[in-house]
Structure 1
């Protein structure tokens, strides 16, 4: 698997590259947003580790441009306390984040976790799940609404698949973080942002969701439309 590491700090790049290569990944590097986009165009990686605070084209803009044409997983690097940037990155479609200063080993684990969830085992054949005009195909990792394929990131697909296969069950954000992200710790606002993005793609009116319901004080529940 090939990882593109984007950070303007040479020391950070070197450390991250060393740990990723030790874990068996092929690594490419970029020091600016422009270099990152050029490297991606030359040879798209399997995952991007992206610092949000870059000179020139910012990491947020890089993420925005990547999402126009690709669902490649993105793990953000953010400075501790930059919650608004982290939220903005998640809203643009980033899959995960690690706050600086960070443990390189934790970053490698996060990269492995994201790639594990987007990688499809060829021997596994899972039947599509249909709910009215929504179809979710686990084998192809695709979802379509009213016959039109949805542009979902890896995490958004994972969240949708989990919810649609557990209809009527209420899950807390903590439970979703553990069951979908595979984390037993982390910022639960990650779940909130992904639910909001998912509603924008599967609900007729995201402000009045019919499928992904909020259970106030508890969490979220998927209400099937096909049975209505």
Structure 2
């Protein structure tokens, strides 16, 4: 098994797609985008009935695990989100009451069992973005499912992502991370900022 070169993690509308596209072009990496295998329409069911939270999240966890295994076969991939970030959503749904304590423990047992079979990535790039910027981007792009989730959900998810870095440091072994503030760094039109970011990323990736 090889090692995944880079994972880009961040909440919805934090700039993951823009960052992944930039990194793949400039560093010559192949993109393995986030994939949803949802044959039972669990995401739609969840939006209408929160009791579908556990089967939906278990499905996504297994899908992301399989995707990570595929990416780890060659040391040339950048992933848009991964199995490591999946726990953020499970923890959020537990706090919101969508999971019972026993259901959350079932999820964690599977999560830790799967991660025990993975080689950690070389680096996880964590995108941080101010909540108001995230909300404005969600409103501006106007996707029906995102708008239907409601502002309270996005506020709760934004808060949940605040615990992601400490979680990665607690993994055994700890996973190397790099933080990028996509609210203040323009990766579209600011060439100087782009070059500085890529230089830092190259150094961290070796």
TM-score, length basis structure 1:
0.29
Q: Which structure ranks higher in relative contact order (CA pairs < 8 Å, sequence separation ≥ 6)? A: 2
**Rg bigger for which structure?**
1
Answer 1 or 2: which has greater strand percent. 1
TM-score, length basis structure 2:
0.31
Answer 1 or 2: which has greater helix percent. 2
